Chains A and B, each alone.
Chain A
Amino acid sequence: MIDTIVLFPHCAWEAFPYQTILETAGRERSVYVVTTPAGLSGAPSSLLPITLDELHTLPWPQTAAIVTHPCWIYEIAGRAPAALIALLPESQEFGDDAYLRCRDALCAAATLIVASSEPLYLEQWFRRSRVFIRDGLDLASDAIADAAAVDAISGKPIDSLAKLQLQRRQDFREEQLKTLRPSAMQSFFQAVYLYLLGKHEQAEHWAKLAFEQAVFASEDTAVTTYFRFLSVIRLQLGKPCDAIATYGITAVSDAEREAYATMAALQEEGKDALAAALLLRMNEDYQRAAESLAALQEDDDRGLVRSLLYDVYSACSKPDAALNLLGETRRTVADHTKLKLLEGTALALQGKRHEAVHAILQAAMHGADPLKSIAELAAVDGQAQRLAEGDYA
């Protein structure tokens, strides 16, 4: 049973956008906030400040961590809270590459995610389940997100709430689209909602419309963004040949052309499921790709399933799962460097800082580039320290 909540905030309490969630979930629980007393100005007296050095005193197996800034990821790593709730305000959703690595690691580790924008919300749905949005556009939808966060803290299942919100958002968007100026992106989002809900025929209609609108607007990515999405929709519609040909039409780069050639060859060999998994991966539908590949692991004579799974787990910020796929085969220097870097990332996310640094240093034996990862870890630590001291600039 969760009797303690610890909040890792991105701002002072006065500006905190999730006060109601914390107040509701905090009833009859001890609530700590990693900040200074000044950072809690205006907060209910039941909320107590806690320093980074004191975090080890919390009863972590009975504690829910609520995190609103990705830079806290390594402070939570290894503590194994009973629930990890990632609430990402819009200002904290996007940043540079290093920031995004932190954000993605947090999202991968979280029990549930509450995004503030549709791009992140939908992106995460392609990587995992239990994703919510709370953007202030639709009160009913926001209420579902709040309820999910509170339920997760209470240890209740939230998958059905996530589906409910997805459906609610799709209904809401359908109404909105009647009044909005038609645009490729709006139609595309609608197609994505319908795809995620399994309404593939409707998804196909909206994806085609998005493509047409993008062509009329002379958008450079009309084919690679909008038309390509039709390939996975057609796959779900039970048209694998059309699906792969649709992807092939959009394949421009050498990597994409090679992937298409592989899909077509697999299909020729009758390995439709593997071809489909590759198609899902190339559309960045990592969640469905992982599900398909997991079922194919026993029939992996050429190692393609393992290689794709490795790729998918890496993209989804699951270094532990990716590492488990690497066998004890002979490796090139580049492979060794990549492996040690991956080990470093995995260890850092397990809270094993010294071991992580050691692995990264091993990666740096053949070139200094991996040392950037150590600098990155230090920068994240520094940012977490500043947040803990109430410096939210």
Chain B
Amino acid sequence: MNRPLRKRTGNKLTAMMQVRNEADRYLEAALADLSTFVDEIVIVDDASSDATPEICRSFDKVKRLVELREPLFGQEARLRYLLWAAAIQTEPDWLLAIDADEFFEQKAKTQLRQLIDQDRYDWVGFRMYDFWGSLAYYRDDSLWQLHKRHTMMLVRYMPQYSYFYPAWDHHVPRLPLSCAALQGIGSELRVKHYGWAGDEASRRAKYDRYMKLDPQGQWGSLAQYASILDPQPNLVRWQEDEEVKPQT
């Protein structure tokens, strides 16, 4: 007998994450947070030289940790495929692709189950906010508008479907391109991205790395790279929504 294609209840949610030298950043907090609302976590460590693998192993919900000895830098599609292959071995109903510096807002953690316990949509997109310079503000200007659209992060896994990534070296989407061809839904739930929340020096380091890797803007926008150094970006204070509790 086939396993049910789409289930309205009892869906297993596996989070998938690729990491590299995240020990001194948000990894521990991210895994602790994820552990409260997903069933299993699968991680591919891209040859970290710090304590990243040990941190990963310290969480019970991390069921698979693939440790690469050599980094797959510049072979991002291969890295994505590796992570995907490891994640589907957990036989999930749904997969959440999340980075080690991304956090769902509080109320999302209970609402996520409602989003996956249905048989109509096969992916969910969320609004991603780029926090800037602190954990209190996100950036909102013409080049930083990720939160104005939906980023597909959550997909139903159906073994008979064809999943494939574009064979790019950089900026490969976090989930197989073919997922977006299925019926999906955009959720208003928000995700906080702390990748830019560090100090000026860390942003300068990122800028330098992008310019070294992609000086012609082949993989990204040069204007956006330049805007990383913008001395006065437009910042908006983050308001964490109160979760609506059922009336008693």
Contacts and interface: CB of A to CB of B under 8 A. Distances in A.
Interface string A207-240: 0100110111000001100010010001000000
B2 to A, nearest CB: 5
B73 interface: no
A226 to B, nearest CB: 9
Interface in A255-278: 260, 264, 267-268
A149 B5 CA distance: 48
13 contacts: A208-B162, A212-B162, A212-B164, A215-B177, A215-B180, A216-B166, A227-B162, A244-B2, A248-B5, A249-B5, A249-B122, A249-B161, A267-B2
B164 A245 contact: no
Given A215-B181, A230-B162, A249-B160, 19 more contacts: A208-B162, A211-B162, A212-B164, A214-B181, A215-B164, A215-B177, A223-B182, A227-B161, A227-B181, A245-B158, A245-B159, A248-B5, A248-B6, A249-B158, A249-B182, A252-B183, A264-B2, A267-B2, A268-B1
A245 B157 CA distance: 12
Contacts of B158: 245, 249
Interface in B6-55: 6
Contact of B178 (A215, A252, A268): A215
Given A248-B5, A249-B5, A268-B1, A242 B177 contact: no
Contacts of B164: 212, 215
Interface of B: 1-2, 5-6, 122, 158-162, 164, 166, 177-178, 180-183
B73 to A, nearest CB: 25
Given A241-B2, A244-B2, A249-B5, A211 B182 contact: no
Interface residues of A, number: 23
A246 interface: yes
Nearest to A239: B160
A223 B160 contact: no
Nearest to B122: A249
A216 B165 CA distance: 10
Contacts of B5: 245, 248-249, 260, 264
B123 to A, nearest CB: 12
B105 to A, nearest CB: 30
Contacts of B180: 215
A350 B182 CA distance: 46
Interface of A: 208, 211-212, 214-216, 222-223, 227, 230, 234, 241-242, 244-246, 248-249, 252, 260, 264, 267-268
Contacts of A214: 181
A286 to B, nearest CB: 24
Contacts of A249: 5, 122, 158, 160-161, 182
A181 to B, nearest CB: 18
Nearest to A250: B182
Contacts of B1: 241, 268
A244 B5 CA distance: 10
Given A241-B2, A249-B5, A212 B182 contact: no
Nearest to A267: B2
Contacts of A260: 5
B183 to A, nearest CB: 6
A193 to B, nearest CB: 21
A159 to B, nearest CB: 34
A76 B106 CA distance: 73
B137 to A, nearest CB: 34
Contacts of B182: 223, 249
Nearest to A222: B181
Contacts of A222: 178, 181
Given A241-B2, A245-B2, A245-B5, A216 B177 contact: yes
Nearest to B6: A248
Contacts of A223: 181-182
A381 to B, nearest CB: 46
A252 B122 CA distance: 11
A227 B1 CA distance: 22
Contacts of B177: 215-216
A222 B160 CA distance: 15
Contacts of B183: 252
B178 A212 contact: yes
B118 to A, nearest CB: 13
Nearest to B164: A212
A38 B164 CA distance: 62
**In this complex, which of A215, A216, A222, A267 has the most chain B Cβ atoms within 10 angstroms of its Cβ?**
A215
A386 B100 CA distance: 74
